[in-house]
Chains A and B, each alone.
Chain A
Amino acid sequence: MSEGDRTDEATAEPTMTLIRRIRTGDAGAREQLVRRFLPLLRRWAHGRLPQQMRDLNETDDLVQATLFKAMTRLDQFESEGPGAFLAYLRQALLNQVRDEIRRHRRRPEHGDIDVELSDPDTPTLIEQIVGSERVRAYEQALAALPKRQQGLIVMRVEFGMSYPEIAAEVESTPDAVRVMVARAIVLLSHALGGEPT
């Protein structure tokens, strides 16, 4: 996605509006939603897949399957509020990635597996950069937050969306979003700082 695309994105229809239109059978809205999220999710998935699975086609297949599956469950996002759709997509994709990792992993030849060894020995890019324990602690702390805060953090931290983009998504202003993101991060950090390191 180029910078130009992202500027357009900020002025585009909010995802919630698109979802409502898709539910009325609007094929154009469906295409717009796919166009909006596919590159974002593809980029995100690249950092969450172990190296041997980072083949471009495989990543695309996973992302598309997740996105199309989510299209069949649009009802629930309307009730969970702005930003929830992207957080849902991310979680669904994460689950798919975990399934794929399990499928790719060969069982150890012999020997008992203790808790530590049951960690995936196939680190993803983000795990390679910051460490798998840090990623795991973050995931746990994130899952404990309200859905709205989850969405804000995911959009800013993981997807690298600008404040105007997030503002368009949650139907707010960039300044207000900046404050909301900061508060969500403080909330998450409090839980994260309590984790044993």
Chain B
Amino acid sequence: MKPEQRSDELESLAARIADDEPVSWPTARGAGQNQTLNGLREMQQLMQGYRHLQLDTGRNTPQSCRFRFGTLTVIEPLGSGTQGEVWRAYDPALDLQVALKLRKTGSDTLAHQFLDEARRLARVRHANIVSVYGAAVHDGRAGLWTELVRGATLSSLLVDNESFAAEETRGIGLDLCHALAAVHRHGLVHGDIKAANVMREVSGRIVLMDFGASRELDAPQTSVVSGTLNYLAPEVLRGAVPSPASDIYALGALLFHLASKEFPHTANGLDALMRAQDGAGRTRLATLRPDLPVDMARAIDAALDPNPAGRPPTALAFAAALAVQPVRAAGRGPWALLALLAALALAIAGARFWPSADIAPWQATSEFMRVDAQGSHALMDGAGIALGDRLALQFKSNQAAFVYVFDDDGSDTAAVLFPLPEVQPANPLLANTSYRLPGKRAATALTWQVSSAAEREEFVVVAATVAQPELERAIAQWQRADAAHATRSRGTLGLAAAPDDAQIGSLPLREILARLEHGGNPDVRHWRFLFPHAAVQ
């Protein structure tokens, strides 16, 4: 391509961005063009952000009020489903536009069932799950309102574009695996994972929506098949109760669909679909998309195993299978190789960074911060925290360090707070650099939000000067589905200081640490923080 052509192409892309129109990104790139294209992608995000602000401020005015729902000013319809209709509304108390889902008049769903969705959703707080703000009944109509996610559903993105690139599919898969893990660990099943129920926000954040089909894991069995046909696991089609395994199947079907624009099985109607699933087999994803990394295609195909026992046992196990698999050196785990690469990089950067006994002894500091509108404030061990608090960890070490942060909720397994996929920084953390964890996804700084009304939060921070393959393996394998029950059953209310003899609640974590630190291993250390909830409503 000639330089003038490239220039025209870039200007044409820029004009489409300026006009807020869909953009088809070119695939062939030269070095200079690549830089400009990256910048144009950034500009597209900014443009969409500003456009939403202009829409917001333009529509918050009283004359755009269609009707009121309690204190909410309802502005315009956004969409409609079988159970309810969704409106853009303004919540004056929060000074925010929200998505208000109103139960349809004449809907089969009872008002209390409709509100159950809000209650279930309110239990799960996760960056990749839509946040619920409130629920109420006004003038006989039940409604629930959530954050207004600004972006597009994956289904609409598929209509307007080609199938997703490998890395995009992987990123979406990892985000949704973590969202599902949060859902399952709160004792819930989503029940309707599909492209139309997942949104990509303008910032790139992936958000799982619509918990209308969700249910308690231990709810009584019903014979009604619910969910969307192409995403239904074979056992659910035959009347089994939806389970975490059927959510994993649906997520597999979604990723298959994103990568190929096709479904694992396509048939017209329930019976035909069952026959198709019983058939001689289906097309493998690797056949439809030979460019996909083999491990990734295999992981998605495994999630679609007709036998639930053949699927990844948990959403986190699915995430581990989807995650990047570095080339393995013979006899070594992937982290050993990463550690080697990091060590090489550090050696090149200068001998003063090399973790060696010849230099100053290893020193590392670890301190939790509460992040609020006024700034960041250090949290002393034992300080009270509250539901909704945003926390971060300040970490600094004079040697490169592998850091692992866990929310130890007293169950058999501990929730992994760091490292996280798609989040920077990743291990190892560089020496003499102050980090605020969990870090950033794309350009967005992240925090951990206190999301359950547990009596206290307990965190374990492990730091090591070399990678800890045993811990890494445990992180990938832990099942977290039953952790929520333990969270709500222990401890006492109030501002009691952490008991001196308290030990790490998670047995596997405690045992691994005992092994790692055996004999006063100078390469590993851990901190434990206990923060009681200051008040519970």
Measured CB to CB, the residues of A under 8 A from B are: 1, 43, 46-47, 50-52, 54, 105-112, 114-117, 119, 121-122, 125-126, 129-135, 137-138, 141, 156-158, 160, 178-179, 181-183, 185-186, 188-194, 197
Which residues from A are CB-within-8-Å of B371? 121
User: Between A and B, how many residue pairs show CB distances below 8 Å?
Assistant: 164
Contact of A106 with B15 in the complex, beta carbons under 8 Å = no
**Nearest chain-B residue to A129 (Cβ)?**
B49
In the complex, whether B423 has a CB less than 8 A from a CB of chain A is no
A111→B396 CA distance, assembly (Å) = 13
Q: How far is the CA of A116 from the CA of B54 in the complex (A)?
A: 30
A121–B374 touching, CB < 8 Å: yes
Known contacts A107-B375, A129-B202, A182-B14; 13 further A-B pairs (Cβ under 8 A)? A47-B53, A51-B373, A108-B377, A112-B434, A116-B435, A129-B53, A132-B445, A135-B46, A181-B14, A181-B18, A193-B40, A194-B35, A197-B443
Contacts of B49 in A (CB 8 A): 126, 129-130
A5 to B66, CA, bound (A): 22
B window 161-192: CB within 8 A of A: none
Asked whether, in the complex, the Cβ of B375 is within 8 Å of the Cβ of A182, the reply is no
Interface 1/0s, chain B 9-39, versus A by CB < 8 A?
Answer: 0111011011000000000000010111111
Instruction: Give the complex CA separation of A46 and B185 in angstroms.
Output: 39
Smallest CB-CB A-B distances: 4 pairs: A189-B39, A193-B39, A131-B443, A193-B38
How far in angstroms is the closest Cβ of chain B from A153? 9
- The interface residues of chain B lying within 8 Å CB-to-CB of A193 are 34-40, 42
**From DSSP, what is the main secondary structure of chain B's interface residues?**
helix
Residue of B whose beta carbon sits closest to that of A42: B57
Tell whether B68 is near chain A: CB-to-CB under 8 Å.
no
Q: List 26 A-B contacts (CB under 8 A).
A: A43-B54, A108-B378, A116-B436, A117-B434, A121-B373, A125-B53, A125-B56, A129-B53, A129-B150, A129-B202, A130-B46, A131-B445, A133-B445, A138-B46, A178-B15, A182-B12, A182-B18, A185-B40, A185-B43, A186-B36, A189-B37, A189-B42, A192-B38, A193-B38, A193-B40, A194-B35
Q: Does B78 contact A (CB under 8 A)?
A: no
Contact of B443 among A110, A132, A194 (CB under 8 A): A132
Contact A179 B39 (CB under 8 A): no
Contacts of B374 in A (CB 8 A): 105-106, 121-122
B444 within 8 A of A: yes
Q: Which residues from chain A contact B443 at a C-beta distance below 8 Å? A: 130-134, 137, 197
Identify which of B32, B378, B442, B444 contacts A109 (C-beta below 8 A): B378
Closest chain B residue to A152 by CB distance? Answer: B18
Given that A51-B373, A186-B40 are known contacts, is A111 also in contact with B51, CB under 8 Å in the complex? Answer: no
Task: Among A106, A125, A156, point to the contact of B375 (Cβ < 8 A).
Answer: A106
Given A132-B445, A185-B14: A192 in contact with B436 (beta carbons within 8 A): no
Q: CA separation between A122 and B373, bound complex, in Å?
A: 5
By the criterion CB–CB under 8 Å, are A47 and B57 in contact? yes
Assess the A160–B35 pair: CB atoms within 8 A. Answer: no
Determine whether the beta carbon of B15 is less than 8 Å from that of A109: no
Complexed CA–CA distance, A112 and B377 (Å): 10
Is A117 touching B436 in the complex (CB atoms < 8 A)? yes
Minimum C-beta distance from B171 to chain A (A) = 15
| B51 contact set on A, CB distance < 8 A | 160
Chain B 427-443 near chain A by CB (<8 Å), digits 1 or 0: 00000001110001011
Enumerate chain A residues within 8 angstroms of B377, measured Cβ to Cβ.
108-109, 111
